[in-house]
Structure 1
């Protein structure tokens, strides 16, 4: 085995659009370092705690596992389209909490673990932070990727729509190109 074979970039993928930014960054890191991309989606059945680990309904568990696999493939397609990430990839769904699963998968010293960070305070209050758990427990390097600058703007638009507040669609396009007559005069 040569020095590059077997080296991996492991990235956490969730069901949200915000996980596409770290996924794309992980692919870029894999391309730049001649590594394999491991896209990991951790999943738990509803209720997910230890009391549900021995769920006695295998068909339901199979349905949850299949759904997780579909979400992972959808995320890969949304991030890279049919062209793929441009590196060898291994999509992986694992039952368990996201932080623990990612740390267990990225267990080699030469792995690079990529996780997203997010500004959503309400989300952090309800769910454990993967971006805090992984650096504290991983045995490999961890790259925490901030959200896209546009994500904050889109969040504001979603809130305005949810609360039925006025929304000027011209604000969504950003500044107008010079010479269009719509440029800002501030």
Structure 2
């Protein structure tokens, strides 16, 4: 039996689906004693034609702010006291989540994030994670209003 603390990785992108996934992961960690790594990943936007490049430091800073706000909101709403690491990663979200999940016990993702078709049942990132993760994956659906 391992005495190591269980690790949960959760994807955050600022969407309501990711907020639900973060809340689920925090409740799970509160009940199980697990540590949570909340991860946001970004890549440079694709431009067609000419466009002004956005400095990486600005994107890093915005991603860090979005992640910090999401974590603060979830912790405040749930009132949980769990260990939370926050990571900003430059890279494709699905790949960054899979890399972070290499030594994790559980990966938690929202069913849909900011991309793709809003009517899709499962987003491309969550679908990729389900098929390729090195650990169990929980896909959290948004609550319908």
> Is the structural similarity TM-score above 0.5?
yes
The two structures have a TM-score, normalised by structure 2, of 0.81
Distance 1:37 1:26, change over 3 A: same
How far the C-alpha of 1:118 sits from its partner, in A, is 3.5
Task: Check conservation: 1:12, 1:102, Cα contact below 8 A.
Answer: yes
* Post-superposition offset of 1:145: 0.9
Q: Is the 8 A contact 2:39 2:87 kept in 1?
A: yes
Distance 1:43 1:148, change over 3 A: same
- 1:14 is paired with a residue of what secondary structure? coil
RMSD over aligned Cα, in angstroms?
A: 2.7
Larger relative contact order (CA 8 Å, sep ≥ 6): 2
Q: Unmatched 5+ residue regions in structure 1?
A: 49-56, 151-186
1:1-186 mapped onto 2 (5 Å cutoff): 3-5=3-5, 7-47=6-46, 60-81=55-76, 85-108=80-103, 110-118=104-112, 122-123=117-118, 129-150=124-145
Highest Rg: 1 or 2?
1
Unaligned runs of 5+ in 2: 48-52
